[in-house]
Structure formats: C-alpha cells, structure tokens
Amino acid sequence: MSKSEVYKIGIVKGDGIGPEVVGAAMEVLDVIGEKYNHRFIYREALAGGAAYDKFGEPLPQETIDICKNSHGVLLGAVGGHKWDDLARDKRPERAILGLRKELKLFANLRPGTLFKSMADFSPLKTEIIQKGFDILVVRELTGGIYFGESGIKITESGTSAYDIEMYSQAEVERIAKIGFEMAMKRKKRLTSVDKSNVLESSRLWRKVVNKVSKDFPEVELKHMYIDNASMQVIRDPSQFDVVVTTNLFGDILSDEISMLTGSIGLLPSASMGSSAFGLYEPIHGSAPDIGGKGIANPIAAILSAAMMLRLSFNLDGEAKAVESAVDDVLSMGYKTADLRPERDRLRTTAEMTDLIKNRIHSNGI
C-alpha cells in the first residue's frame, strides 16, 4: 500500500472504557493524517455487550462485513458484569473469537516494551531492569489446546475431564513464518518456546520451526522449554527479542512479560493473518467500573493504532512518531490515575490524549 492511498479503518469501540480509549486513538490518527498528509476513513460497528443490547447478538454480520472491507480494525475491550448471566454463545467475549475466525487471524503479536520512565513500576530489581527490554511475543491464536477436542467422562476414578492439544504441520509453519518475518524486521533473533521433552505436539512444533528456519538463514534461532522461558524472562528479559510459541504458552508468557513493563495500561497488541490486514487492540479489559468517567489510560489503544500504522499500512515513520510522543509525555511525568503520578502530573483521558497529540505536532518529521 502506497502512502498516496486512502486507509479504511474499521472501528469497534466495544464496552466499558473501550469507546473512550478508541476515541483517543482516532484523535491521534487524525493528527498523523494531518501532519503526514494521509487520509483515514473510519467505519464504526458494534461488537460485544453493546451489540448484544442492540441486536441480541455479540457479533452482528454487519460488523463482520465492515471489518472485512477495511485495511485494518481498531478494537476496544468488550464485556462487563452486566452481561455475566448470558448464555455462553451470547456473551460479549464471543465477539472476539468470532472476529478472529471470520477475519482468519491466527497470529497474536504482543510487544512488551519498557519505557525508561516506567522502570520504577516494574517488579524487577534495578540491576535487571536497567538493561531495558523490548520483547515481541508471537502467539499462535487459533489452534492448540483451546481449540482441540475436550470433554468429560466417567472413569474408575470418578468424573474426569480432558482437553487435547493438537497442531498440524501447516499451522506451525504459518505461525513460525510470521515469527521469523518479525525477527527480520528487528534484531534477527527468534526464540521458539515449547515443551518438546514431554509433549508430542511440541516435538512436531520444534521440527517444523527448524524446517522453516532454513528460509531465514540471517535469523539466529534458539529453542527453549516453556518452564525455562518463564524463569528466563524474570532473570534477564533483555536476552529476548522475538518469541514464537503456542496458544496456551503464549497466553501465559505474554501476560507474565506484560507485568514486567509496569502496567498493562500501556500495552497494545495485534492479531494478524497471512496478509497485512490486522485487528489491533489494547490488552487490558473493559474496566466497566471506570467507564465514562474520563480517567482511563488511553496509551495502550494509541500504541495499538501505532502498530496498525506500521504493520498494516507500512508507515513506520508515522508509527515511530506516535511512540516517541507517548515516551516523551511519560518522561515528563504526566500519567493517568492507574499509574499513580505526582498530584500535579495527574491527567484525565482527554488531557493525556491532548498531550500526545501536541507532542506529535511539535516533534520534527
């Protein structure tokens, strides 16, 4: 996609604080469009609890169609206690699984980056955290134990339950390829995390990753067991660059890494498929208790928009402009309430958004 084209963005604001933080990201995108002469066209659609309230379904076909006809989708969080008693197929969270399936998104990209101004918020010791870290977890999203056969049966020991982990060669190949491609754009280091000393599915995983590595001779490949990887990200997170792993292991490991950054309110994510199209969302929840109060942290959603600029639109310079503006504002001490700032540096959602927009305007192109 060339810079002269129009960029169509599907907007799914979701529930709770979703509309506020996605609205903030849209404001930042508008500033980028103005400064760099791009045109972003937004088409809004409902998903999650808001969609259920209006249509009786968490994921209407209209929403799917709008997303499919976009170059990328910006999503807020969905769900809340209001819908806890709904049947499983009506719950807001089903919208996320449905979108991933309908849009053929099989790779979740979750960066864990430490902003220098956030070092004191990390639970790691100073001598570890001072090295800094920038880790990208590439998690397989549509296979593995979450999608395998499961059930309950009666055995001689009583009621038993089972969940089966299964991966095909094709599923591993496509996620491994994305892992290597991401590594090529960064430091050319990839760590594949599995449990091949115990699990047959992990032995296939490792075999296929090794096969795919032959197409990326510039990338240094390491293999690591999940239990060791979980320890190593605490011992020295700076040793990692890109990590590729299974659905279950990626779910756990990316949450662990997110805590090392000091706040999930700062972390974006992307869900990708075989093309440049992606679904971008903050990793935090809908936080319905603070929805509409103007105190939510907009940074994760804003950085999700930056990921869209880079990965779907190939606008790396514009993405860096957003990331630099966020870093500058945090370095000046301005924060929302979740980051426990000094009283004179406490800012609302709108005020933080304005600060970031102003930094983009004032920083050089």
Neighbours of 174 (CB within 10 A): 19
pLDDT at residue 117, as a whole number: 86
Neighbours of 116 (CB within 10 A): 11
Q: What is the pLDDT of residues 41-64, one digit of tens each?
A: 999 999 999 999 999 999 999 999
Residue 251 known to be catalytic? yes
Q: 178, 202, 184: which is closest to 241 by C-alpha?
A: 184
Q: What proportion of the chain, given as a percentage, has pLDDT over 90?
A: 87
User: Which residue is catalytic, options 195, 241, 280, 335?
Assistant: 195
- Say how far apart CA 198 and CA 196 lie, in whole Å: 5
Residue 146 known to be catalytic? yes
User: Which residue is catalytic, options 215, 227, 236, 289?
Assistant: 227
Residues 280, 230, 283: CA angle, nearest 5 degrees: 20
User: Which residue is catalytic, options 15, 194, 241, 251?
Assistant: 251
- Segment 299-319 shows an average pLDDT of 97
User: Which residue is catalytic, options 30, 53, 134, 255?
Assistant: 255
- Segment 112-119 shows an average pLDDT of 89
User: Which residue is catalytic, options 42, 65, 90, 146?
Assistant: 146
Residue 255 known to be catalytic? yes
pLDDT at residue 356, as a whole number: 98
Q: 225, 267, 291, 11: which is closest to 121 by C-alpha?
A: 267
pLDDT at residue 364, as a whole number: 59
* Matching fold, domains 1-103+277-365 and 106-262: yes
Structural domain spans, the chain: 1-103+277-365, 106-262
Question: Domain 106-262 has what CATH class?
Answer: alpha beta
CA 265 to chain centre: 12
Q: What proportion of the chain, given as a percentage, has pLDDT over 70?
A: 98
CATH tag, 1-103+277-365: 3.40.718.10
Global pTM value: 0.91
